[in-house]
Chain A
Amino acid sequence: MGSVLPAGGAAIPIMYPDKLPDARNAKMPSHPQPVRIDGIKLSDALVLVDFKGRSASTEPFSCFFRRLRQNRINLSFITTRSFGGRFHIACCTASEDESRLRALLTPGTDFQGSASVTTDVGLVSLFPHQSDFQLPGICLSALAAASIPVYGFATSLSAFIVVTDYRRLDAAVAAIKTHVDLPRGYAPMKPEFRIKQTVPGKGGS
């Protein structure tokens, strides 16, 4: 486990797939009261790019974000951590941006490393977390008990976000919904549009 500082959010520990405990024998602990949340938001199918490397620079993330901006790539999720000259960036982007993102992670003079890609991942965002650490515990326990993989998670200002299999988003929601208190008749928000960056004067919005 390491610590993660999601953009604009609180720091919480994060577990990476190679270090996750065996979920096969996981049992959902009993919680006295469901945690009250206002909603659940789901993402489109995304790719998760894990980039682990070494940087001569003390600011590998600035370099990464500069490249993102130059290439007009939107991220749906990102966590970063650095320790002892090494760094780890885990980020999700639209499937169609995968190759551009990988190209952008090509080792250069500023950082070196290797990227691994997991396709067909999706995000489940629960909000608001109200800085209640019961929510991550309940959510992760529920997913483990349902044998649903977790590739990463993070908090933002308002949301607790889990990266899981896109094809199992509905199962993930079903597992979580039994342990949280949502408004009556609530249905998770699904994406109906996607925002892209375009070069001014070349069309698009």
Chain B
Amino acid sequence: MADEKLILVVDDDPDLVESLSMKLESENYRVVKAYDGIEAWERIKEETPDLVLLDVMMPRKNGYDVCDEIKNDPQYKNITVLLLTAVADAVPDTSYTHMDGKTTLADDFIPKPIDLDRLMEIVKEQFE
């Protein structure tokens, strides 16, 4: 059930975090927020979310590195990671992709600018 799922929203744009959180909460998801990669990892350890919406380009630690840490940690590797990226055209595949020569283990990606309805569909699909 959607209302049992906890989603971590990570982006260095506070307005995007707020708008995504509002949308997710309106769909009865629980939401925690982080504004950079370091903070994201702290929230993951504190809250163990079911899904992470993870921006790629962030200060301190980028989304690729956070994704790698999640997926290579036995305790957290089952957390679903959806990358939020403005360069989605460069992503040829979804579950195991290469972008700018970088391998990512993200479960899927969502292109920016974000279509909120499409985002909700993708999030919902992850829990089905």
Report if A159-B57 is in contact (Cβ < 8 Å); known contacts: A38-B35, A189-B35, A189-B36: no
B16 CB to closest chain A CB (Å) equals 8
- Against A, the Cβ 8 Å flags (1 = close, 0 = not) of B23-45 are 00000000001011000000000
- CB of B59 within 8 A of CB of A39, answer no
Q: Does B19 contact A (CB under 8 A)?
A: yes
A-B contact count (CB 8 A): 40
Q: Does A158 contact B (CB under 8 A)?
A: yes
- Against A, the Cβ 8 Å flags (1 = close, 0 = not) of B1-23 are 00000000000101101110000
A6 CB to closest chain B CB (Å) equals 10
Interface size class of B (residues with CB under 8 A): 10 to 19
Chain B contact residues: helix, strand, loop or mixed: loop
In the complex formed, the residue of A with least CB distance to B90 is: A205
- Against B, the Cβ 8 Å flags (1 = close, 0 = not) of A104-139 are 000000000000000000000101100000000000
**Which residues of A159-178 are within 8 A (CB) of B?**
159
Q: How far is the CA of A92 from the CA of B101 in the complex (A)?
A: 34
Q: Does B122 contact A (CB under 8 A)?
A: no
**Which residues of A174-202 are within 8 A (CB) of B?**
189-193, 195
Q: Does B102 contact A (CB under 8 A)?
A: no
In the complex formed, the residue of B with least CB distance to A193 is: B57
Q: List 8 A-B pairs, minimum CB-CB distance, nearest first.
A: A127-B14, A158-B18, A158-B14, A192-B59, A157-B15, A158-B15, A159-B14, A156-B15
Question: Which residues of B pack against A, CB within 8 Å?
Answer: 12, 14-15, 17-19, 33, 35-36, 57, 59-60, 86-87
**Given A8-B15, A39-B14, A128-B14: 19 more A-B contacts, CB < 8 Å:** A38-B14, A38-B33, A38-B35, A39-B35, A41-B12, A41-B35, A127-B35, A128-B18, A156-B14, A156-B15, A157-B15, A158-B15, A189-B12, A189-B59, A190-B59, A192-B59, A192-B60, A193-B57, A193-B59
Cβ contacts A to B, 22 pairs, < 8 Å: A8-B15, A38-B14, A38-B35, A39-B14, A39-B35, A41-B14, A125-B14, A127-B14, A127-B35, A156-B14, A156-B15, A157-B15, A158-B15, A158-B17, A189-B35, A189-B36, A189-B60, A190-B59, A192-B59, A193-B57, A193-B59, A205-B87
